[in-house]
Chains A and B, each alone.
Chain A
């Protein structure tokens, strides 16, 4: 064993060990990315190319996947197609080449919009209620606070299907089945437990002295909350928001069981995109790609907060 060899210092790793570590991690990252890249490539393939054997890595790109995603088409006879006026735009051309005609828009855009409304709506509500409740738990002596908090968190241990059974019945009675409001309430309720737990931790870290000083200076408790606590809690709020958003955006079980038409979000919809024979993989891939973009943008913008949030949850308790 070499003596005090700085090459093996754990605190300051040697150049070579850094390079090895880097190579392995980069390799892992690239391998992990391959399925995602493949999905994106599939979204720009034509349907026959997407199911070719062996899988095609070199191909002529086509917008057919995206066209199919946004439209419904019907098959027509070549004579009928020849009798129609000239095609308008790429999607029309591409569709007609397959002896089909665009019949109207598909359900993807409404579902995507539902996802936006429900996910962002429930995130906003969860963070709002969570911040208020977290402040309350943090600053005031609430009876049975610890037990309450633990029980709140433990509701997340139920499988979503289990929760869905009574919720399904309840919503049926209340007429909330298949409504955006119902889904927003549900997601908010599921997220608020995590939000309270996380935000309480963040708010706990903000020393009370600042608010107390502010109140001595003449602020009310409410004003102190707004002026002193909130600005310092922005990281925590952002971290919590990102968690809630990821959950609500990607959620499937509740959406599949409690919605069918009006309030259906994108995750239950995307796997049902069927072409003429089997699943329309380019369209599904296109839907997946488009669906991924907002959450990816948000995560990259708020990645520091996200990391802080995950690790904070680990550091606490």
Chain B
């Protein structure tokens, strides 16, 4: 009991001290808002350098992914002063730019000599620009991310499994290059006994509440030829969103969910998927690349046991873009200090350290460095994935568009209502309603 009371005393002392400290250092203090995940912890570590260089203390407000959009969009819409800096999701750019939540950064970039050409083009378009493909910058690309896959290399290398697979499918058991191959591998592993436990084929995104299943299904839909709109006529979606190929793609995602996932995976997003992989439940998992460093370091499934591959191809080859840019909130009272943080973050040496600590830098000089692909076992897969990215709508009404897709897709894939064609037809109608409300069609 003495130990416990000492521990509690120590804890209490730590709490008291840490709450007293900010009062001592009455220097500037900035609050940065982001999602609560591994890279956020890495950013805390990295920001100590900023504090050392400028004396500004950094406070962090991290919110789990499931409530990230809710909480911070709410915050921005209520003109809250909680956040001075925010690392907002790539899809918030449209709304935040048009509603004046973010500070436009063009002038600051010009003044400080920060060039957008120094960053990976896909990330500039995806995380900074609004309207897309115009030189209006509302964020600095902060965290490159894309959906990819990990697999249990140690299982794939088991000789008896390799023999069995080769006999059954006529090819080697290796990381799949197409979705048909992936499905075969998943079926192969489904309900198999490995090391005394039943395992399953794959873990894919199925989450309903925020954006999970959309971020998963788009990887398959893009590959089957799904397009958001007519490339020649904006907001013309009929025949592009619900093309015959897109319908087949959606049916494929459902068949993958039905055949090859663990029980109880009706609401899976990033943490659940990683969990399923870490606990040795699945042979492959779909997840954003940010999970890769943590998984590689994991004691049970990391090191030599894990392999990485980019989103497989089918008729086309794409992957869903994740990632965020860092912006200055226009309602903050500390704009200048916040801009200094952005300036510091854009430095090449800081970006290099960011990659080292587990963040995914978007700076060309970091990702194009000759030894980058070898620096980590997942670097190559990351590079390959970033080359094929495609993003969801970033319109100001993106939340309504996302909600509609979540509902339609989850209803079909997980709840099994209706057909894929009905789901996509309904989606076209929903999205048309949103754009009509916005006056865009």
Contacts and interface: CB of A to CB of B under 8 A. Distances in A.
A36 interface: no
Given A261-B61, A262-B82, A272-B64, A278 B272 contact: yes
B38 A278 contact: no
A277 B275 contact: yes
B244 interface: no
Interface string B60-88: 01011011000110110111101000000
B27 interface: no
A268 to B, nearest CB: 8
A71 B18 CA distance: 11
Interface residues of A, number: 32
A92 interface: yes
A44 to B, nearest CB: 12
Interface of B: 3-4, 6-11, 14-15, 18-19, 36, 38, 41, 44-45, 61, 63-64, 66-67, 71-72, 74-75, 77-80, 82, 271-272, 274-275, 278-279, 294, 297
Interface of A: 51, 63, 67, 70-71, 74-75, 88-92, 102-105, 109, 168, 171-172, 177-178, 257, 260-262, 272, 274, 276-279
B68 to A, nearest CB: 10
15 contacts: A51-B275, A75-B41, A89-B9, A105-B14, A105-B18, A172-B78, A172-B79, A177-B80, A178-B78, A178-B82, A257-B74, A272-B36, A274-B36, A276-B294, A277-B278
A177 B75 CA distance: 9
Main secondary structure of the interface of B (DSSP, over half): helix
Contacts of B272: 278
Top-10 shortest CB links A-B: A89-B7, A89-B10, A90-B7, A278-B275, A277-B275, A74-B41, A274-B64, A177-B78, A261-B82, A88-B10
A92 B10 CA distance: 9
A109 B16 CA distance: 11
A168 B78 contact: yes
Nearest to B70: A256
A178 B80 contact: yes
Nearest to B37: A274
A51 B279 CA distance: 9
Given A74-B45, A89-B6, A277-B275, A104 B18 contact: yes
Contacts of B271: 274, 277-279
A63 B4 contact: yes
Contacts of B9: 89
A257 B291 CA distance: 30
Contacts of B71: 260
Contacts of A67: 11
Given A92-B10, A277-B274, A75 B38 contact: yes
A92 B4 CA distance: 12
A213 B114 CA distance: 84
Contact of B15 (A51, A88, A92, A109): A109
Given A105-B15, A260-B82, A272 B6 contact: no
Contacts of B4: 63, 90
A148 B6 CA distance: 58
Contacts of A91: 7, 10-11
A279 B64 CA distance: 10
Nearest to A107: B61
Given A91-B7, A260-B74, A279-B271, 4 more contacts: A63-B7, A92-B10, A172-B78, A178-B78
Contacts of A262: 82
B82 A75 contact: no
B19 A105 contact: yes
A177 B61 CA distance: 17
A260 B76 CA distance: 11
A178 B67 CA distance: 16
A74 B294 CA distance: 12
A278 B271 CA distance: 5
A168 B19 CA distance: 30
A75 B10 contact: no
B80 A70 contact: no
B373 to A, nearest CB: 23
Contacts of A171: 78
